[in-house]
Amino acid sequence: MKRIGSIIFINMVLFAAGTLSLANAAPANIWASVQFSKSEVMAGEPLMATITVYTSTWFTTPPQFNEIQVPEAIMVEYPQRTGSTMKKIGNKSYPAIEKKYVVYPFRVGRNSLPSLTIVVESPDEGDYRGKRRVVASPERAFSVLAPPEGTEGETWLTASSLTARNEWDKSLEQLSQGDVLQRRITIRAEGSLAALIPPLDPPAGDFGKTYSRQASLENIQSQTGFTGTRTENWTYLMEAAGDFTIPAITVRWFNYRTDQQMTTEIPGYEINVAENQEQAFLLTMQDSLQALLEAGLDIPGEHFQWMGLNWWQLTIVILTILGLGVFIYRWLRRYSSKRRTKKLEALDSEETLYRKFVDAGREGDPRKVMAALFQWYDRFRKPGDPPGLKDWMLRVGDDRLSGSYQQLERMVFVGENPREWQGNEMMHRIGEIRKRKVKTSSQVHIRRLTELNPVVPLTGTDK
């Protein structure tokens, strides 16, 4: 009996000692740090930001990094760059988890990566049960350098390498009036995003008209960074005959690896546009008859009769028929050209691009939704609107719209697949904003017309 009492007493002492030890256990030392790949970058140059969270024990669950955004910059998360490691500080090694971001700043001057809140579960010293802790990374500043003097900001582009590919849908040999050429130019910039590649202006030519379709944007993610691709689509209508030059296209960019300003050129083309055979035949016939009348060569006498018409009456009838034929031919050409122009303009209109965005949203493909959204906004925005889609959403001030767009960004660039993506909410809110802007534009237009044509009230007159 005494032995049993001794055993119970010893167990109680051990339990009390263990409880006291756990009660006095020191909390785990947890902190976060921020590192940049460079302390200063050029405007548009990618800056790699690494946020690391440490613990003196271990992580029982993966840390949760909250959303973060650098002002006046495009920031993309690197999902495959998130991983656990061991960091040795002094004589001790600490478990650590890193998350990497790529920042593309476009505001010159001082900028900073804001503090990031991180939720961590880690046991205290000497314990095994994870405790929830919240830590914050320090704010870290960096410098953004201005482009070299003489560089236009709207055409500024930074990349580690750049290539340009030019494609035609047909040979440039044996062209004639009325021919239509389709041209595609693809700019591929490594180390940049597609949205940062400036649009190209189609070179003007005396051969006819040039029509631009909406450019297509694509981002490719690799182990070392992003590669942006912008594809321009142009249509040339050959209206004039003769020898012409399609001017060369020059793309200026800055190589941030070598700190050199580079130039990539798409060469020009010499073309010959022949006269349309049918039109040349009609004009030749008209010129021949006119020359015959003016020169008086082989002019029939007054005795000539054909269907009751003498030679000069018949000549007038023939010239009238030829003139009418030329008029009808030219009218048909203009009508066909106008129809083609309206069709091209309809394909590039804001309303058509908005319908494409809605259709892409219904399909549910994040990449198609992102591409269609960029194309629509590029046509929708008016003078005074921000060039960046994210800046425009911040100006609108719709938190739900910004939230659904951030989800879409993670789906496209990170590969995340949220179960409850608010795609319908984003399309609905963009549709409401679009309706309000169209209505406002109509009201402004009516007000301007009223100012130009004021309504003067009728007043009575004395009889």
d(C-alpha 399, C-alpha 12), whole Å: 57
Burial of 454 from C-beta contacts in 10 A (0-12 / 13-18 / 19+): exposed
Over residues 376-386, the mean pLDDT reads 79
Instruction: List the domain boundaries for the chain.
Output: 23-145, 153-274, 277-298+306-347, 350-449
Highest mean pLDDT, choosing among 55-64, 272-281, 380-389? 55-64
Over residues 446-450, the mean pLDDT reads 47
Over residues 337-343, the mean pLDDT reads 73
Q: Residue 149: what pLDDT?
A: 76
**Alpha carbons within 13 A on the beta-carbon side of 246:** 24
Q: Residue 13: what pLDDT?
A: 45
Over residues 191-214, the mean pLDDT reads 85
Q: What angle do CA 355, 418, 65 make, to 5 degrees?
A: 125
Per DSSP, the residues of 23-69 read HTPPPP-EEEEEEES-SEEETT--EEEEEEEEESS--SEEEEEPP--
Residue-wise pLDDT tens digits, 297-332: 443 334 455 666 666 667 788 888 988 888 898 888
Three-state DSSP class for 457? coil
Q: What is the CA radius of gyration of the chain?
A: 36
pLDDT level of residue 32 (50, 70, 90 thresholds): very high
d(C-alpha 335, C-alpha 375), whole Å: 29
Assess whether the region 23-145 and the region 153-274 belong to the same CATH fold: yes
Q: 23-145 domain in CATH 1.10.287? A: no
Q: Residue 438: what pLDDT?
A: 64
Q: Residue 441: what pLDDT?
A: 55
Over residues 100-125, the mean pLDDT reads 90
Q: Residue 211: what pLDDT?
A: 83
Block residue for tokens 């055409």: 155
Burial of 1 from C-beta contacts in 10 A (0-12 / 13-18 / 19+): exposed
Q: Is the pLDDT of residue 113 over 60?
A: yes
Q: Residue 161: what pLDDT?
A: 92
Q: Is the pLDDT of residue 163 over 90?
A: yes
Q: Is residue 164 within 8 Å of 187, Cβ to Cβ?
A: yes
Candidates 201, 232, 192; CA nearest to 215 is 232
Q: What's the fold here for domain 153-274?
A: Immunoglobulin-like (2.60.40)
Q: Is the pLDDT of residue 185 over 90?
A: yes
Q: Which residue has the higher pLDDT, 21 or 93?
A: 93
The per-residue pLDDT of the chain, averaged, comes to: 78
**Listed range (228-237, 248-257, 305-314) with the worst mean pLDDT:** 305-314
* Alpha carbon distance, N-terminus to C-terminus of the chain: 135
pTM: 0.51
**Listed range (232-241, 342-351, 368-377) with the worst mean pLDDT:** 342-351
